[in-house]
Each structure stands twice: as C-alpha cells, then as structure tokens.
Amino acid sequence: MNRPYAVGVRAGLRSLAEADHLLRTLAPVLPLAEPEFGCTHLVRGDRPQVALSFSVPTEALLSTVRQRLADQGYEAVPGVPDAVGRAVLYPGAARLTGTLTVAEVLSASAIDRVTVLGSPGPVDPDRRLVTRDHVRPQWQDGELVLAAMPAVGGTLVPFEVPNPTPCCANH
C-alpha cells in the first residue's frame, strides 16, 4: 500500500476470512469518515498470521486511530507489514457486484489495473468480469491490481474465490 499514513494491526488472526471480518468490524469504530484502504497482510515467521492495515488520510489522525485500536485491545503499530497488502476496503469496493466490464471495474473503484493469469498483455476493457461480490485486489509496485482468471463464456472471475475449500478438507 503506497499511502503516506498507515496503521498496522497485529491481532493473531489465522485466516483471510477472519481478517476480512475484523477489518469490516473495526473500520466503523475508527475516527475516519471512511477508511481509504483496509488491507490484509500475510506475516510469515514462527507463528504465521494475517495482519491488518488501515490507511489514514492525515498524519494528525494517526495517533487517534492507534489509540482507538488499542482501546479495542489490538496492538497497533505504525506503517504496514509489507508493500503487497490485499485490499478489502477501498474506494468503490461496494460497487463491484454482479457482472461488470473491466472498464467499469476500473472507473468505479480504486483498482488501477486488471490482469489475467497466463496472459501477457492488457485485458480488453469490454471483457466481462463476474465479481461473485468478492473482489480483492493486491498492491503491486504502488498499483492496486486485480488478478483474474478465464471463466465460462469468455468471462473473467477474480482469482480469489469467496469461500475457498480449506486445505486438506477431504482428509
């Protein structure tokens, strides 16, 4: 996330679904009209976890946001855990429902670019994207990029599925 003011949150979360839920729960209690961006970050190490980050529009709000998070019992740290956060809350996210063209996705949201797995070139702006009401772009080199994959009838779908099957679910 290339936003100048950000707050990271370490909450010991183990799954993206838990992190998405917590982002949506915490956002309304922060002193922000609307968070510019709320992202998840995979933190590797001895105890892998999913951390959160919120961008804050001004430096003056940073300490207030950190205090509000601490009041809720969360460890709030300056900055973001890494530069490749997965955006859950971002401008226009609520408008990305149903089936839209790539051009509509780009004009209605903060997403800068859509890529198709296995395709080297740009995506046709008239190509239809079936959002499944779950659009999670990632920061890549300062751009918010949605990875998509080909689907039925020449459409695209976001690479991340809304309800993934847990690893080893059939074992």
Mean of pLDDT values over 45-53:
88
pLDDT at 3: 61
pLDDT at 162: 87
Mean of pLDDT values over 123-144:
96
Residue 62 CA to residue 68 CA, distance in Å, equals 10
pLDDT at 96: 97
pLDDT at 169 over 70: no
More confident residue, 102 or 33: 102
Mean of pLDDT values over 47-71:
89
| Single-letter residue type at 11 | A
Bridge partner residues of 138 (DSSP): 86, 145
pLDDT at 91: 93
pLDDT at 78: 86
Q: What is the DSSP code string of 147-169? A: EEEE-GGG-EEESS-SSPPPTTT
More confident residue, 157 or 80: 157
Residue 131 CA to residue 97 CA, distance in Å, equals 6
Question: Is residue 124 very low, low, confident or very high in pLDDT (cuts 50, 70, 90)?
Answer: very high
By mean pLDDT, which of 37-41, 78-82, 126-130 is the weakest? 78-82
Mean of pLDDT values over 22-30:
90
Closest CA to 45 of 81, 5, 8: 81
